[in-house]
Structure 1
C-alpha cells in the first residue's frame, strides 16, 4: 500500500454488487456505448471471426477448415469462406483519488461510490473476452498508477488491489490534475475503446480540450459522484468548513438563509458549468450520489 494514500475514515465500501445487477447493466451500458463490444469492432485484415468478408475458390495453402460445403456443392469446385476477425474491447477506467473523494455525509463516501462504479465497469469490461485497464490520478505523482490492459481475473485482481489503497490524504500536494490525467490517457489508450471516468469533477484545470480529444477516438462515459451536502447547506448554526485539498478553514453561519441561498446558487452554477463542458466534449454524463442506491442510479442513468 502506498504511504501517500490512506484508507479514509468512515469508509463503507460500495455495498453488495450482485451478479444479476451486473448482467442487467451489461445490456444498458452496451446501448449507451453504441454497442462497443467484442464482435462489433472490425479489425484490419482477414482471419477467423463471425462476419463474412468474402467467398472465393480454394487455392493451395488455404485452411481446409474454412471450406464452405454449400458453395462448393453449388459451384462444383471447392470454395472457402474468409471472415473479418473480431477485436476485443478494451475498457479504460480513470479513477479520481483526490482528497475531496473522501467526503460523505450520508450512507457512503464519494470514494465508496466511485469504487462501486469501477468494480461494475471492470466486471462488465472482462466479459466476452474483453480487457480492462486502470489509470488513477488526483494525488502526488508517486501515487498515480497505470495498470495496462488485461483480461479475466488478472485484470480484476489488479484493480481490486489499487482500490484497496484508498485516496489521497488531506492537504496532500496534488501534482497531477484531471487535464494531465486525460492527456496521459490519450497517450496510452491508442486503440479505440470505452473510457469510464469516476470523479467528483471538482478540479479547476482546463480539462475540456483533452476530454474532447479522447471522445473523438473512444466512447467516453463520465460518472460524476456527489454528496447532497455539496449542493445545499443545512441550517446547523456556526460551522467550520475545511477544504481537504489545501487545508483552508472557513467559518460559516449556516443559520443565515442568505448564506445558504448564496451557497446553493454558486454550487448550481458550478454544476451547470461542468455539465455544459461535458456536453461540449460529447461524452455521456452520468450522475451518481452517496445518497440512496448508487447502483440503481447508475442503472437508471445508463438506460
Structure 2
C-alpha cells in the first residue's frame, strides 16, 4: 500500500505543476513540437484559390461539382520520460536533491502533454531497466506515473544511459518526444545516443547541483563515490585541489554539451539551486522560433 505522505506529495505536485502549465507552459509546449504529419479533416466545396491537387475526384464525380480534401496537423504525440534513478540523484546541497528536481520537472512535462491530448510513458533506469510504463493518455495515468516516480525504490546504484537508450529503441518503435533526465555520471553512451536521436526527438535534461563544481573548504574529507563505491581522503583546504576539482567538473559538462550538439540532441540544463520552470520555458520558446522559420 502506498504511504499517505506519498499520496499527499503527489497531490501537492499536481496542484503546483497544473498551475504552472495552465498559466505559463501550455501554449509554449503546444508550439514546441510538431505532430506526426497531416490527417484528414473534412471535404468541402472547391473555392477559387484552392490547390487543385487536393480535389477529391470521387466526391466530385458523385456530386457533379468540385470538392477538395482539407487536412490538419496531426497533433497527437507520444512523450517518453526517461529518468535516471541512480544513487547520484540523491545528491543535493541547496534547495533539494537532484532526484526531487527530476520528479517535479517530469510532472510538469507530463501535465503539459496530457493538456495537449498526448500520450505519456515512463522509463526508470539505473544500470538496468527498473520500471517501464507504456505510454497512455489521461490524468489518472499521469498521476500513476508521478506516484511511481516518488514511490518506486530502484535496486541499482549505478547508471547505464546506453542500455536505457537501447531499451527505449526496442519498446518505442514509433517516433516519440523523449526527455532523458539525468546528471549523466555514466560511462560512454555516444553510439546509443546517435541511434536514438535519429529515431526520436531526443532532449537531454541535465540536472546538476552547484556544489558539484565548487568544493567547500572544510578540511580533510572522506569522499564516497555514490555510484561506484569506495572512498578517498582529500584535503579540501587545498586551493590546488579545489581548483582542479572545479576545472574537471566544468570540463565534463562542456564535453557533455558538445556531445549533445554533435548528435543533434537539444539540452535543457537545470540546477537544484534555481527553479526549473524558466529553463523549460526558454527551451519551448526556442523550439517554437525554430519551427516557425
Q: TM-score band (shorter)?
A: 0.7 to 0.9
Secondary structure at the aligned position of 2:92 is classed as coil
Q: Write out aligned runs for 1:78-93 (5 A).
A: 81-84=68-71, 86=74, 88-93=76-81
1:238/1:14 CA distance change after superposition, 3 Å:
farther
TM-score, L = length of structure 1: 0.77
Structure 2 match to 1:150: 136
* C-alpha separation in 1, matches of 2:161 and 2:153: 15
Is this contact kept in 1: 2:18–2:108, CA < 8 A?
no
Match 1:96 to one of 84, 93, 96: 84
How big is the shift at 1:207?
A: 1.3
Secondary structure at the aligned position of 1:126 is classed as helix
Structure 2 match to 1:28: 28
RMSD in angstroms over aligned alpha carbons? 3.0
1:58 and 2:59 aligned:
yes
How big is the shift at 1:90?
A: 0.6
Number of residues of Structure 1 aligned to a counterpart in Structure 2: 267
Structure 2 match to 1:42: 37
1:49/1:282 CA distance change after superposition, 3 Å:
farther
Structure 1 match to 2:9: none
Gaps of 5+ in 2: 7-11, 45-50, 286-293
1:268/1:49 CA distance change after superposition, 3 Å:
farther
Structure 2 match to 1:116: 104
* C-alpha separation in 2, matches of 1:251 and 1:296: 38
Structure 1 match to 2:16: 17
* C-alpha separation in 1, matches of 2:127 and 2:178: 20
Is this contact kept in 1: 2:55–2:66, CA < 8 A?
no
Gaps of 5+ in 1: 8-12, 63-71
How big is the shift at 1:154?
A: 3.5
Bigger helix fraction: 2
1:240/1:14 CA distance change after superposition, 3 Å:
farther
Secondary structure at the aligned position of 1:17 is classed as helix
1:197/1:211 CA distance change after superposition, 3 Å:
same
Is this contact kept in 2: 1:287–1:297, CA < 8 A?
yes
How big is the shift at 1:123?
A: 0.9
TM-score, L = length of structure 2: 0.80
Is this contact kept in 1: 2:18–2:111, CA < 8 A?
no
Structure 1 match to 2:150: 164
Is this contact kept in 2: 1:57–1:79, CA < 8 A?
no
